[in-house]
Structure 1
């Protein structure tokens, strides 16, 4: 017989609010779950592109060179053809066409041409000569000069063809080269050409690079900026090295020079479009170009002796290490928030099943089959859940356009499965067999079954295995190992085990607390504890969600706090104070006074620094730095910064006897325990080790010896100023130093700027943002789980309060009853979350590697600072306290709303509440 009305339509019309709530919950959950992998792909892809963008141009380009061209026969037409602009451009086109994906050439920054292999000395009127003699030049005929340079004076070289033995040619130089080497328009530079007449290169113009940091100019930086070279004699003497830029058509003039000329092709890799998922393909492509089948194809297409050099493999390897170290840490947050979301979805399904327990029992009693009931419930839930999940997942893909498509699709499908399966699964578990009504099923009377015991022991074994694996192997430091799922799930497994243990132990404190309350005259306390013990045994799900959220929040807060603490300490160690002013020589006397007048400066410590101090032990190869300071001010600075604090009296110069010094462990080992004479003969010091410290302000690396500045002979001006002041700004400080330092050699470093530089990689900043969002999402879903558990018991509590009010219970007593009834469970969740979160941080700290998250490129400064999980009081205590306060607040609101109504509106004949 055909049904009068379809089941799903009837249910949605009679109960629209639960369907709307489910739509919102599933949509938000699908959005978060789909956005997480897209966000990870986005910041990892940005990190890969950032690594290519900031790498040195000679490392991030593919540099191809052909054998040097020699003018064996000047009459041979093939000689000039080999270096003609057309031939070189055609070969570059072949190289670009044969590049394997995902590598793509950046045509704007790629270049080709002919250049001399080594610098050549050049003579000319007015050229600046240093102690090493006349300057040397690299001659390059590089295509695209007109597009990559702006003419400041003169003109570009004429595009005239020149043979190997042409007597003269034209070139231009950059403004930096012209200024340093004294070149002007019209200067003639003569380059030796063996036994024949030298090549006269006339400078026709001075140009300015359009994009000086681009690969066109930076693969060979000498093309835009001159540098020093040094002679081979002892001592080495410097001389200038610049570049003369010829027209591409004049490349033939380079073939007869003493230093052989070579054709070259610089292929800049375009980072646009490269994503993190392209890393393996890019590494394979680079390997194929360097020494694989692609190189063989290129040699067939370009030349049999084509050579290639690049640093791309090193860039990709470094990025893989950073991503491989940060990925497992981020996956911990993914497992944590994923576990909370899964439990909340199951809790929502359980709440719906509990609300409709009588309806489903009546349906079964009237002959409804279990498969039919499950099918109806599944269709009823799927109608709002599936469109919500699709909308949430699609919104995540639209808002985060970068990344792979299949991870958000899989995440959305998982959300749909859990959201649609929670209610039918709970219905199957409760109604597959008829159950007598009126029986108690609470946390006090419930006895765990054998199956539950086996499941709990299995989870315990998995948690122990995860902890052992994490402490032994740690988070993988390398992309090759990938993310270890068991290791990443360790905090979640510990939270699950802790929740199960707390549920088993929960009845014991209730019984103990009920004994003294039973002897008191008032019934509120005893009734509240009894009611707390009558809570359904299914409250394990909300408790599990709360514990997982609290553990995830505590672990995430510890990760972020550990990273922040390590960066702060590394910045202080690198600078030595809030700011540092230093120079290679002694600072002018007015610099210290000018710095003291800068707004925000609270103190200035003057330090005389001398490197390569001789300890007279025959091992001067290991450098030691001498730091001469005023003991009182320096000791206060060392204590305030936490860098090897010591009492000032340990460093003060005595009236007689050896000079006490504070030294590093390496210097202490070399000096021994007795008096020692150190330093040069003209300024020898007899010292004894008074204290040993690992770190000291003003020196970030290496061994050191601290002495009282009053013990040094002769005037020793300060070379370093360590400035204290948390609000000191870089602009006023640099202006004051620049005004007082006439030489302009003083350098200013700020702790805040050094601190910001540690998070230079988008992989770091992106991972921190994702981690923070995951922690916030876990906290939000924990609040939702708490509200769901309170809503589940609300109807029964309201009915109970109405009955008690008919028996004489006052409104004030009713409110106290509901609040006290909620306290045991909320206190259990809050206190248990704090304890478990604290234990998880302590247990897992040795296996969690945060060095790459704190500083992507590592470095000696950060390597001397421990980077480990740090227990963060705010993320540990605040969420636990919030659980208790929120539970009490919701109970108080429920009681207030209930006591405002009449008792007769809550009680009905036959009501089973």
Structure 2
């Protein structure tokens, strides 16, 4: 039943507003569209929910690795208090050191620790030890230089839980121990017993105050259960004795052993009777498993409070007024925060890019559905359906499909990444689901505000952009320009801060600077809008000459391409954003790989480096050269302690074969030079060699250097012609100039050199100080190779080490075992943080997901145009269009848009990288170790040709292939065969 509405038009009764039957009917008539929407929402919700959890997982893992790698002596909170004052009665002083008092103080200190800082009770401990070491009177203890051994007495809790006896038993206190007790029991670790010749039953006497020495009887030798645990490593002396070398004023260095005797905690009061100044301590080890990166600022505040804040006041109230807290945990946290500040914004760029493409694809899906149902919705509006009721029905219809799909995607993300906070994952999945639900109703609301069955043409060539669109595009242009300028300015200021020592990172900025992280996306958006505005112009220019050609395919394809719907802006936006993100991401990953490769080459100088402290065997170069994968071997004679003139400074000197070394320098890009300018003349080689004679005759037989007052020196008996040419670093060249000067080598020989070439880098020696000379100008001893630089495409580390080991083991003249280092191993050393490796994996996954969404956007655009193209081919077939002509027509029609997307993607990606490169420093994500940065500067971002062209070519190939496939499939349908106008092909 119908009744007229208030406006005179027929309307729906209120009881007919139930949408359930209508939704069931719609889902039954289009099950494929519903399933496709569900799959799209599920996949997008899964990726959106998994991303924050994956980021949180690798950030937390990086923080915990940073704390573990920093070792317990740096990260433990060391709370220490001096012995009770002498004004306190002796019984109270002894009571303060007994286990019960120490345990209560330990519990009170634990209560002062603020969250999120958590303490690992299994590795934390407390006790009493003497600050001043006590000299042992036993002469049977080892005395390397005649000095008696010294002992540190420690009564630390938890010895039974953290060790097991290998001989004897654990120490006991027996009766009540006081400061006047004359003998106590102790244990030592196996390392202490082995190095100090201590056995069970040994007695060690240490000084006491105003009485006979204190006798410490060794009752047991213990083995640490976890030698690398914080219990033993916070105070390494408890586990391993040290050989101490006190500072001396000349003469032979004197050494003595320092070991630890482990007393029972009940025996702690006996330390008051020694001159060792006993001190109480509580060692609190942070629990790495409880550390999370999102609490980093609160962690720093908690540590600062304990060191010099309210926390320290509470600790002193719980222990002693003079208690102090020391730790390097705050420095470890600050170092990690600096590394994360350089890594996180780069990942944000990939997240924003992929998120933008996913949003565009969801909007395209809603628009595709709205366009497919345009006639149906227009008819409903014409028959009296209200805009609000129609929107509600479409929203409910979409929600029935999207909500379960979003829930399944969230569940999949929680299962795939079972780590991290669920709140961010739920929020991301909910945002995706709500966007998917709103895409179709909002599009229908915008398209059917006015009632009408037939709409005007919305061809790209005929529809003029509205003022609102122009204002929106100008707004986006301003935002993109501001983001790019902010990023470039931040990079410049970061460089300036670094130059002034203020620690500026020069990266993308803080994690909250979302505008800067969206810069590549905004550049892609602006490019898409600009290209859509310019797209009709070249088609119009080409349509006129194409119309005068004999065939109709070219003119028809251009006319069809020019009449593309204005909705092409969404797929073009998705493609350009994805291509820009892929180009930027590929450039980042390529820049990281290049930075690591260059840093490894700078440290090694080649693909592999074989180096020894002494001379290498004479047969080793040939043996290494015959190893599989080795292309060339460059021998070097390196002297790290060459002393210019009569000074005490040293300069690293490398003797090389100019021809081979010049090829190596050119191949590695480390200071290439002409080989002829480094060759020593035969006269120079004769006059400056004679190392053996000078070594025998000492200073009198060597060339004497006379300082002429201008920083240069002349060799006795030689001349400027006798000096051999040298390649030097800029610092060395500025220091010694181009005048000849003498170098005194470690074997006693002298060589006169003259700097003729200056380079900033060289393969033989890393750093900023080096001299490179021809080995022919050195003496026989000095010219013996100490290093081999090995180049090859696939150098096998196992084969190379086997060859080196066999050669050095068989050669009796080998002075030292050779150290073999490979560039691949050196490169892997720079990725020692889960923060870096995790960020790279997430970045690559985000770029891959963005590329997948771009392909999906292209497919959606082609699916939207498929019915129209099929109908066009069917009509044209009735007029005699052949199958091959139909394929050419669809390919040529799709080619302009594909070319537009591909060319725009290449240009946009190139522009994004070039515009943003000055503000991006890849050093944090590329080089893990602080000293791993190459001396040439930071790891800069540069364009990667593969990342620019391969995705663009893929888009072009995919678009033309799909168009050709559609023409082939349409030509095989029965309706087309029935409409065919007599063609036999």
Q: How does the TM-score come out when normalised to structure 2?
A: 0.87
| DSSP 3-state at the match of 1:614 | strand
Q: How far is the alpha carbon of 1:44 from its aligned partner? A: 0.9
User: What is the CA deviation profile of residues 536-570 of structure 1, one whole-angstrom value per residue up to 9, with x for unaligned ones?
Assistant: 01101000000000001110111111001101111
Judged with a 3 Å threshold, the aligned counterparts in structure 2 of structure 1 residues 577 and 131 are, in CA distance, closer, same or farther, namely: farther
Does 2:543 match 1:529? no
| CA shift for structure 1 position 201 | 3.0
* Ranges in structure 1 where 5+ consecutive residues have no aligned partner: 909-913
- The yes-or-no answer on 1:875 pairing with 2:947 is yes
1:633 aligns to 2:660 (yes or no): yes
Cα deviation for residue 745 of structure 1 reads 5.5
Query: Which residue of structure 2 aligns with residue 647 of structure 1?
Result: 674
Q: Does 1:724 find its partner at 2:791?
A: yes
- Tell me if structure 2 keeps the 8 A contact 1:617–1:670: no
8 A Cα contact 2:605 2:789, kept in partner: yes
**Map 1:650-665 → 2, pairs under 5 A:** 650-655=677-682, 656=684, 657=721, 658-665=723-730
Structural mapping, 1:155-166, within 5 Å: 155-160=169-174, 162-166=177-181
236, 253, 257: which one pairs with 2:270? 253
Please give the per-residue CA displacement for 1:220-268, whole angstroms capped at 9, x wherever unaligned.
1222223332222123434333322222222233223332111111111
Partner of 2:874: 802
Determine the structure 2 residue equivalent to 1:520.
Answer: 549
Decide which moves more: 357-366 or 591-600.
Answer: 591-600
| Residue equivalent to 2:38 | 23
CA distance 1:893–1:407, shift in 2 (3 Å): same
> 2 CA distance for matches of 1:627 and 1:400?
53
Higher alpha-carbon deviation: 194-203 or 49-58: 194-203
CA contact (8 A) 1:625 1:702 kept: no
Residues in 2 aligned to 1:902 and 1:126: alpha-carbon distance in whole angstroms: 106
**Contact persistence 1:610–1:627 (CA under 8 A):** yes
Which range is displaced more, 312-321 or 256-265? Answer: 256-265
Distance 1:183 1:736 in 2: 44
Q: 2:244 aligns with which of 225, 229, 239?
A: 229
Question: 1:524 offset after TM fit, Å?
Answer: 0.9
Given that 2:178 and 2:269 are in contact with CA atoms closer than 8 Å, whether structure 1 keeps it comes out as: yes
Q: Across the two proteins, how many residue pairs are aligned to each other?
A: 905
Distance in 1 between residues matched to 2:755 and 2:815, nearest whole Å:
37
Judging changes above 3 Å, is the alpha-carbon distance between structure 1 residues 164 and 628 closer, same or farther for their aligned structure 2 residues? farther
The corresponding residue for 2:400 is: 383
> What is residue 463 of structure 1 aligned with on the other side?
480
- Aligned match of 2:934: 862
Q: Report the secondary structure of 1:643's partner residue.
A: coil
Deviation at residue 617 of structure 1 after TM alignment: 9.4
- With 345-354 and 786-795 compared, the bigger mean Cα shift is at 345-354
Contact 1:69–1:255, Cα closer than 8 Å, also in 2:
no
Match status 1:666 vs 2:681 = no
Distance in 2, Cα, partners of 1:869 & 1:538: 35
Q: 1:291 to 1:175 in 2, by over 3 A?
A: same
468-477 vs 363-372, which deviates more? 468-477
Partner of 1:675: 740
Q: Is the 8 A contact 1:596 1:604 kept in 2?
A: yes
Structure 1 residues 448-459: aligned runs within 5 Å: 448-459=465-476
Q: Are the aligned partners of 1:799 and 1:907 in contact in 2 as well (CA < 8 Å)?
A: no
Moved more, 883-892 or 726-735: 726-735
Secondary structure in structure 1 of the residue aligned to 2:110: helix
Which residue number corresponds to residue 608 of structure 2? 579
SS in 2 for 1:662: strand
Retained in 2: the 8 A contact 1:806–1:903?
Answer: no
1:841-860 correspondence runs (5 A): 841-859=913-931
Shift of 1:634: 2.7
SS of match in other structure, 1:691 = strand
CA contact (8 A) 1:138 1:243 kept: yes
Q: After superposition, what is the alpha-carbon deviation per residue over 1:361-388, rounded to whole angstroms, capped at 9, x for unaligned?
A: 1112222222222112111111111221
Kindly indicate whether residue 752 of structure 2 is the aligned counterpart of residue 686 of structure 1: yes
Give, in whole Å, the separation in 2 of the partners of 1:193 and 1:587.
56
**Mean CA deviation greater in 541-550 or 648-657:** 648-657
Displacement of 1:877 after TM fit? 1.1
Q: In structure 1, how many angstroms separate the alpha carbons of the residues matched to 2:619 and 2:166? A: 40
SS in 2 for 1:690: strand
After TM superposition, the structure 1 stretch with the greater mean CA deviation from structure 2, 803-812 or 895-904, is 895-904
Tell me what 1:135 maps to. 149
Q: Structure 1 residue 825 and structure 2 residue 876: aligned?
A: no
Three-state SS of the structure 2 residue aligned to 1:48 is helix
**CA gap 1:259/1:611 in 2 versus in 1, 3 angstroms:** farther
* Cα distance between partner residues in 2 of 1:164 and 1:352: 90
SS of the equivalent of 1:193 reads coil
- Measured in 2, the distance between the counterparts of 1:629 and 1:238 equals 41
Separation in structure 2 between the aligned mates of residue 683 and residue 661 of structure 1, nearest angstrom: 17
Residue 273 of structure 1 is matched in structure 2 by: 290
Matches within 5 A, 1:8-87: 8-68=23-83, 76-87=90-101
Conserved? CA contact 2:610–2:821, under 8 Å = yes
Shift of 1:846: 0.8
Matched, 1:413 2:480: no
Query: CA distance change for structure 1 residues 187 and 726 in 2, over 3 Å: closer, same or farther?
Result: farther
More displaced stretch, 32-41 vs 710-719: 710-719
Q: Is the 8 A contact 1:635 1:645 kept in 2?
A: yes
8 Å contact kept, 1:664–1:695: yes
Q: Match of 1:177?
A: 192
**Aligned counterparts of 2:258 and 2:248: Cα–Cα separation in 1:** 17
Match of 2:457 in 1: 440
Asked if 1:705 corresponds to 2:771, the answer is yes
Superposed CA offset, 1:421-460 (max 9, x none):
2112222222212468374321222211122111111111
Q: Distance in 1 between matches of 2:163 and 2:30?
A: 72
- Answering whether residue 781 of structure 2 is matched by residue 715 of structure 1, we say yes
Q: Residues 246, 534 of structure 1: CA spacing in aligned structure 2 closer, same or farther, 3 A cutoff?
A: same
Once residues 597 and 116 of structure 1 are traced to their aligned partners in structure 2, the CA distance between those partners, rounded to angstroms, is: 61
Which range moved further: 530-539 or 81-90? 81-90
What is the SS of the residue equivalent to 1:64?
strand
Q: Which moved more, 1:886-895 or 1:295-304?
A: 295-304
Distance 2:115 2:234 in 1: 23
Distance of 1:590 and 1:78 partners within structure 2:
75
SS of residue in 2 equivalent to 1:611: strand
State the Cα deviation string for residues 308-362 of structure 1 (Å, max 9, x = none).
Answer: 1111111111111111111111111111011101111111111111111111111
Q: Does 1:490 align with 2:556?
A: no
Aligned to 1:911: none
Tell me whether 566-575 or 120-129 shows the greater mean CA deviation.
120-129
Of 595, 606, 616, which aligns to 1:566?
595
Tell me whether 1:241 sits opposite 2:252 in the alignment: no
Deviates more, 1:118-127 or 1:550-559: 118-127
Structure 2 distance, partners of 1:125, 1:595, is 53
Kept after mapping to 1: 8 A contact 2:173/2:184 = no
State which drifts further: 414-423 or 426-435. Answer: 426-435
> Whole-Å Cα distance in 1 between the matches of residues 978 and 410 of structure 2?
42
Q: 1:25 and 1:652, CA in 2 relative to 1: closer, same or farther beyond 3 A? A: same
TM score, norm. by length of structure 1: 0.94
Label 1:99 to 1:850 Cα distance change in 2 as closer, same or farther (>3 A): same
- Structure 1 equivalent of residue 579 of structure 2: 550
Residue deviations 1:815-846, cap 9 Å, x none? 11111111110111011101111111111111
Q: Which stretch of the first structure deviates more once superposed, 550-559 or 413-422?
A: 413-422
1:273-292 aligned within 5 A: 273-292=290-309
Pick aligned residue for 1:105 from 99, 107, 119: 119
Residue 425 of structure 1 corresponds to which residue in structure 2?
A: 442
2:406–2:433 contact (8 Å) kept in structure 1? yes
Query: In the alignment, what sits opposite 1:374?
Result: 391
* CA spacing shift, 1:722–1:148, aligned 2, 3 Å: farther
- For residues 562 and 265 of structure 1, do their structure 2 counterparts lie closer, same or farther at Cα, with a shift above 3 Å needed? same
- 1:517 aligns to what SS in structure 2? helix
- Partners in 1 of 2:631 and 2:664 — Cα distance? 11
Aligned to 2:207, what secondary structure does the other structure show? strand
CA distance in 2, matches of 1:593, 1:461: 65
Query: Residue 343 of structure 2 contacts residue 924 of structure 2 at CA under 8 Å; is this kept in 1?
Result: yes
